[in-house]
Amino acid sequence: MSEPKQRPDPSGRTSRRSFLRSGLALGGAVGAGTLAGRAAAGTPDAKNLPPNVPEWSQSLGDGVVSRPYGRPSKFEADVIRRDVEWLTASRQSSVSFTPLHQLEGIITPNGLGFERHHGGIAEIDPTEHRLMIHGLVEKPLMLTLEDLKRFPRVNRIAFLECAANSGMEWKGAQLNGCQFTHGMIHCVMYTGVPLKRLLEEAGLKTNAKWLLPEGADASGMTRSVPIEKALDDAIVAYAMNGEALYPEHGYPLRLVLPGWQGNMWVKWLRRIKVGDEPWHTREETSKYTALLPDGQARRFTWAMDAKSVITNPSPQAPIHHKGFTVLSGLAWSGRGAIKGVDISLDGGRNWRAARLDGPVLDKALTRFYYEFDWNGDPLLLQSRAIDETGYVQPTKAALRQHRGLNSIYHNNGIQTWHVLPSGEIENVEVA
Amino acid sequence: MSRSRNGIGAALAALVLAASPAASERLNIGRVATPEEIKGWDIDVRPDGQGLPVGKGTAALGETIFQERCASCHGEFGEGAGRWPELAGGAGTLKSDSPVKTVGSYWPYVSTVFDFVHRAMPFGAAQTLTPDETYSVTAYLLHLNDILKDQDFEVNERNLATIRLPNEKNFVMDDRETAENEFWTAKPCMTNCLPKAATITGRARILDVTPEKASTSPPVQ
């Protein structure tokens, strides 16, 4: 690396600055790059290394409850959500991204799941929160949180993906990092009441066909949900990953619609109206509709199609060693379970099966690995998900052929990472 | 199997049933929402006009409200300031490389304008416009989009739903499963899937729009 004095980075990642300094940005030869640079980057104190006995092995550490609510090690301080400031007009109606390249397994920690707010984070006292269910029901209901926790409950792991995830990449490769290209997704275990159970408590009238869930935030988020989904697998959730929802994710109550676009999973859920026709709210007309090249616009594009991304290596997580290399990534489908993931090292010419590891669940993130020996040659890495319905994640070119460049949402095209001899990675498109 | 064992089994089954009521049974949890409570929150409006509150307004009245409460973000004529949404114009751009999606060029229903303005606007002061003010702002937005020519035309709960937007007919139901049927191939190509070696056709770094802090370490505490 041309600038060996960059600040130590506990996680071993290279900064974008150093990435640019390496000469790559100028299109020149990269030379030693990351591989050589890493040793110089973090310089541990020799007194803490063998054969010496480090200080933490001799003196006492903090006692119990010094951290009543635990937090990650201070050396993990850069594992955080990030935003792209130029993307939106305000931070109250904006998005932050999950650091996918720094996470393992399939469960997203509660503090790292991406955010999408339309009127900022509502901070709600649960004793002042109510869920009202009314409209085409026999008995309009008013429920407190305490009431909701008396109903039979279910647990379900599900991914939540914003329909606009990868939306910035429709016209071409734009952002260097899977956090930004694919980070509008998270996957947690929800606990709550099946929506079906609540609707039975209220008693649906025979002409009940649609629901309008509404949020208590300053955007009054509303979406039309067909009754079939509500009676199938929808959950009114009050917990994620074993603890109460975080305010960013709708505390104290949110709707969970497994496999469907995140915008419909109304946060800070305060009201469900039952009706016989959809409402055509702003978020399902002006937004979250797919404008096609012929001027037509697809609406009610609820299901998220099968998709995958290689999270390591990726632009924010370069390769540091030649030789044995673990490639890791995530795959998911809103139409069912992941059946398989294929990996290409040559930009999609040849493929081989990746290894799925850990739980492979319906409409949940699925972890895949592919181990290989890297000899330092450039690679064009791709992953391709296949779900149990037989849907194969398409190339970006195939998607564009159908939808043009202006449909914003549902970009599930195959991502390409270019591995340079230095081990650095860039977001590219190939043909 | 003896009679007595069967008897125990039946008794156990009865106990289990008593412990978990059938799915459709009422648990009588919570209470009935009162008509007053429902009225306070029941603000949604449908394309057929269901849900519209009694009230009226005109574009002329709406212009004054818009300039005071909306123009700082949306521009004097709905053209949008900075990255805030454009609300007017864009007619004929939907098939172009840079479509401009506004109330006039894209939105299918007037009811959506009323509903959204009333529930979520002005940004940061949601639900502060009265029904009359909301009718007026809606009328002004229709006027800016050349849909209501007469700025003194009264829009009210009886006629709002009769006003149609030009792009309504261009919205279609999700048809990915038929239109994109080719993606359900189940067994994709595994070897020699491209005629020649893949070549790079685009690079993110050419645009250089990745946040500078993407991989530096801002303090968390």
pLDDT per position as a tens digit, B56-99: 999 999 999 999 999 999 999 999 999 999 999 999 999 999 99
φ, ψ (nearest 5 deg) of residue A275: -140, -175
Instruction: Give me the residue from B42, B116, B199 closest to A430, CB to CB.
Output: B199
A 54-83 residues inside an 8 A Cβ radius of B: 77-78, 80, 82-83
Confidence at residue A19, expressed as pLDDT on a 0 to 100 scale: 37
Task: Say which of A176, A342, A390 has its CB closest to residue B185.
Answer: A390
Beta-strand pair A297-299/B171-173: parallel
Which amino acid would we find at residue A53?
V
Q: Is B11 a residue whose pLDDT tops 80?
A: no
Q: Do B101 and A280 touch (CB under 8 A)?
A: no
- Token pair listed for B22: 């059938």
- Partner residue opposite A119 with nearest CB, options B41, B120, B191: B120
Supply angle C-alpha A68, A71, A75, rounded to 5. Answer: 140
Between CA B17 and CA A376 the distance in angstroms is 65
Angle in degrees, 0-180, between the axes of helices B59-69 and B131-144, rounded to the nearest 10: 100
Q: Do residues A213 and A271 touch, judged by C-beta distance below 8 A? A: yes
Instruction: Give the whole-angstrom CA distance, residue A72 versus residue A111.
Output: 10
Beta-carbon contacts of residue B210 (< 8 Å; ≥ 6 apart):
A16, A84, A175, A176, A177, A180, A315, B204
Residue linked to tokens 């900022």 = A120
Question: Which two tokens mark B70?
Answer: 């909306």
Joined together, the tokens standing for residue B93 give 């751009």
User: Do strands A131-135 and A269-275 pair parallel, antiparallel, or not at all (unpaired)?
Assistant: parallel
* pLDDT for B31: 98
Name residue A213's beta-bridge partners: A272
Which tens digits make up the pLDDT trace of B103-128?
999 999 999 999 999 999 999 999 99
pLDDT tens digit sequence for A52-76: 999 999 999 999 999 999 999 999 9
- Domains, chain B: 43-171 (1.10.760.10)
3-state secondary structure of B84: coil
Q: Report the residue of B42, B72, B97, B215 to disrupt the A interface, i.e. the one with the largest count of A CBs within 10 Å.
A: B215
ipTM: 0.89
Integer CA distances (angstroms), A292 to A58, A261, A296, B94, B109, in order: 66, 19, 5, 9, 19
Which one of B96, B107, B194, B210 would you mutate to disrupt binding with A, by most A Cβ within 10 Å of its Cβ? B210
pLDDT, residue B20, reads 54
Within an 8 Å CB–CB cutoff, is residue A372 touching chain B? no
- pLDDT tens for A239-283 read 999 999 999 999 999 999 999 999 999 999 999 999 999 999 999
**Residue position matching structure tokens 């397994």:** A105
Please give the pLDDT value at position A390: 97
The Cα-based distances of B207 to A54, A169, A172, A234, B98 in angstroms read 46, 12, 10, 41, 18
Question: How high is the pLDDT of residue A2?
Answer: 33
Give the model confidence (pLDDT) of B192-215 as tens digits: 999 999 999 999 988 778 886 554
Torsions phi, psi for A61 (to 5 deg):
-95, -175
- The partner residues of A326 in beta bridges, in order of sequence, read A371
Tallying the residues shown for chain B, one arrives at: 221
Two structure tokens written together for B102: 């506004």
Provide the mean pLDDT of chain B. Answer: 89
In this structure, are residues A16 and A320 in contact, taking their beta carbons and an 8 Å threshold? no
Q: Which residues of chain A have pLDDT under 70?
A: 1-42
> In whole angstroms, what is the distance from residue A431 CA to residue B200 CA?
7
What pLDDT shows up at residue B86? 97
